[in-house]
A and B are shown apart, each in its own frame.
Chain A
Amino acid sequence: MIKKIQSFTIERIEILNEKGEVDKKLFPKLSDKQVLEIYRWMCITRIFDAKAVNLQRTGRLGTYASMLGQEATIIGSAYALRKQDWLFPSFRYSGGMLLRGIPMDKLYSYWGGDERGAKPPENVNVFPLCITVGEQPLHATGFAWGLKLKKQNAVVLTDFGDGATSTGDLNEALNFAGVFQAPVIFLCQNNQYAISLPVRKQTAAKTLAQKAIAAGIKGVQVDGNDIFAVYKATQDAIADALKGRPTFIEAYTYRISDHTTSDDAAKYRNEKEVKEWQKKDPLQRVKIYLEKKKLWNEKKETELQKECEAIVDKAVKSYEAIPRAPREDIFKYTIAGGVA
C-alpha cells in the first residue's frame, strides 16, 4: 500500500500589476499618505543607488552592489516592519537600511571602505550588512530566538539572494527557526542571478519558496516588483512570526544592474531579457497607480526627484567630508579594550 502522507502548494501573491491596477481584496491596509511615503522611499533608494554607482565609477566609492529593479522588494519589506523590529540585511538592501534609520552619509562611508560607517546608531535596530552569502540568517534566527526568550513583541527580518538558498547555513537557519519557533522572516530576493548563475542552474526546485517546506515553515512567493504584495506578505509574516511561526518569502524580482560595480552582466545574459524586465519596473507601477488615484502628477514627480537628489547630494557631501580615521582606530575593536 502506498499512501500520500504529505503534499504542498506554494502560493504567489500579486496585488499591483504593470497597468497600476490593484487587487482590491488583497490590498493591504495602507493609507494614501503611506503609499506616497513608500513611493518617496523607493525614489530615494533609486537615486541613492544611481549615485553610488556613479561615485564608484569616478573613484569616490568602493565596490558597490546595486539594487536597481529590486526597490519594491526592499522598500515593501522594510516599510512593513514596526519600530521595535530588527533588520539583519544582506549587501543588497541599502534602501531598507536607510528606511530603518541608517544615516545616508554613514552608509556611503561604509561602501566607501570606512568601517565606521557600519556602526548603526544606538537607537537603530539594524545590524551591519553581511557580505558572506546566506550566513547572517543564522544570526537573525538566534537573535529572534533571543527576543522570544525575553518575551519581547518584536520580530527579525533578514534578506538574502537566490544564491543563498543553496548554502548550508541558510537551510540550517530555516530548520532552527522552525524547531525553536523563532520570530524571524526570511526574505529571499530572487533576482534571478547569483552573479552569473541563473536560478535554473542554482536549483532543480521550481520555486525558492518551497525551500521552506522541508524545514516545516511557511513559504510564499510574491511578485517582487509589486510593492503592495511584498508589503502584505511581510505584514502577514510579522503576525505569524509573533505567534512563533517563521515565514520564507520569495520575492520574485530581477536585478537590472550588474551584480556589483566589478561585474559585467552583458557577459552572461542578453539585453532582451533585461528589457522585458524593465517593463515591470516597480517604481513605474506605483507612479501609475498614484496617477490613477489623482494623487500624483508630473509636477509632483519633478519636485520629488529634486527633493531626493538634494537629500542624496547632501549625504554625499557629508560623506566626503568625513576625515580619515587615525591609525590607532584599526586596533580598537578586535576585542574589548582593543589590541595593544
Chain B
Amino acid sequence: MTVLNMVEAINLALKQEMKKNKEIIILGEDVGIDGGVFRVTEGLLKLYPGRVFDTPLAESAIVGTSIGLACAGFKPVAEIQFEGFMLCAFDQIVNHAARIRNRSRGRFTCPMVIRSPIGGGIKALEHHSDSPETYYIHTPGIKVVIPSTPYDAKGLMISAMRDPDPVIFFEPKRLYRAIKQEVPDKEYNIPLGKARMVQEGTDVTVISYGATVRECEQAAELLKGHVSIEIIDLRTLSPLDTETIIKSVKKTGRVVIAHEAQRTLGMAAEIATRIQEQALLYLKAPIERVTGYDIIVPLPKLEDYYFVDEKRIAEAIEKVMNF
C-alpha cells in the first residue's frame, strides 16, 4: 500500500498494465516528454520508449488514428488534454470508434481508451471546466467511466484497458491532487458497470459520480445523526448499474441525484426515469435533482455560483425528507 493521489494512481495503472500488455501504446498531446499537462503519463516514455507518442495538435487525428491502431491489434490509450477539445474528435468517437464493431459485424473492433480530464474547479480558461458526459452516454457502442477516488481510478483504469470496446475515461480534474488514499501496489481491477456503495443508510439514497461524490459525503456529514443517508458512486455511467440503484431506492424510498453537468438530459434525468419505471410505488417523495444549471459554465470568478456544493445537496436531502 502506498498513499497516492489520483494522478499517481492512474499513472501506476498505466505503468503496470503497459508492463503486462505489450499492445498498449499511449498517444496524445504532450504525453511523452512532458508527461501530460497534468502529469498523468509522467515517466512512461522513459520506461516504455517506442510505445508513448507525442502527437501533433489534432484531437480528431488522435482518436482517428487510435481507431486504426486498435483495429491493427494495439490497445491505444489516447489522452485528450481537456474535455472541451474532445469535441474536435466527437465525430471520430461517435461515427467511427463506437460503430466499427457493428459496421463490420464484429470482424473489426476498437478496444481503446480515451482519457480526458473533466469538470471545473481549477480556475482555468473557457472550455476547460465542462461536464460533457451526456453526449457520450447517449452514444451506443462506447462505455463511459468516471472515478471519484485514487483507489477506484487505478482499478477502473486497469479494467478500461482490458475492455474489448472503446472506453471513455473521464478524470475529475479538481480531484487529481485533492484526495490522497492508500492504493495497493499490486494490480487489481474494478469491474466496469458496477457502482460503489460509499456509505449505507436507510432514509435517503444519494446518487452521484465523479467530483460531486465528495460534496455528497460532506452533505451527509452536515446531516449526520439527523438523517440516515446511503450514498452511491456510479463509477461507470455507461453501462449504468441500475440494479444497485433500484435496490437502494426500494430500501430508502427517497432519492437525491447530484452532478456537476447541466440539468437537461443529464445523468439524473435518466436515473430518475429508470427509478419511476422500476420502483415507482416505493417512492415516498419526488426525486430531487441537484445539478449544474442549464447555462454555459462561468469563467473562474463566478464558477462557484455554478457548482453543486454540499449545502445544495443537504437542502435537497431535507426536502425529500420533509415531503
Interface residues of A (CB under 8 A from B): 115-116, 118-120, 122, 127-128, 132, 135-136, 138-147, 149-150, 168-169, 172-173, 175-176, 179-180, 332-336, 339
Contact = CB atoms under 8 A, between A and B. Distances in A.
Contact of B73 (A135, A141, A146): A146
Given A115-B103, A146-B72, A173-B61, A135 B141 contact: no
Interface in B83-134: 91-92, 95-96, 101-109
B53 A172 contact: no
A179 B70 CA distance: 19
B56 interface: yes
Nearest to B140: A334
Contact of A140 (B68, B70, B107): B68
B98 to A, nearest CB: 8
B164 interface: yes
Contacts of A136: 96
Interface size class of B (residues with CB under 8 A): 35 or more
B64 interface: yes
A136 B95 CA distance: 10
Interface of B: 25, 50, 53, 55-56, 58, 60-61, 64-74, 76, 91-92, 95-96, 101-109, 140-141, 143, 164-165
B93 to A, nearest CB: 12
Contacts of A122: 107
Contact of B102 (A115, A120, A140, A176): A115
Given A118-B104, A118-B105, A336-B165, A149 B61 contact: no
Instruction: Provide the main secondary structure of the chain B interface.
Output: mixed
Contacts of B108: 127-128
A332 B141 CA distance: 11
8 contacts: A119-B107, A135-B96, A149-B25, A169-B61, A179-B56, A332-B106, A333-B102, A334-B140
A182 to B, nearest CB: 8
A138 B143 CA distance: 22
B69 A143 contact: yes
Contact of A334 (B68, B91, B102): B102
A145 B56 CA distance: 15
A115 B92 CA distance: 20
B91 A142 contact: no
Given A149-B25, A179-B56, A142 B106 contact: no
Contacts of B65: 138-139, 141-142, 145, 173, 176, 180
A115 B101 CA distance: 11
Contacts of B50: 149
B109 to A, nearest CB: 7
A172 B58 contact: yes
Contacts of A173: 61, 64-65
Contacts of B64: 135, 138-139, 141-142, 169, 172-173
Given A143-B71, A335-B165, A336-B164, A138 B109 contact: no
Contact of A146 (B68, B105, B109): B68
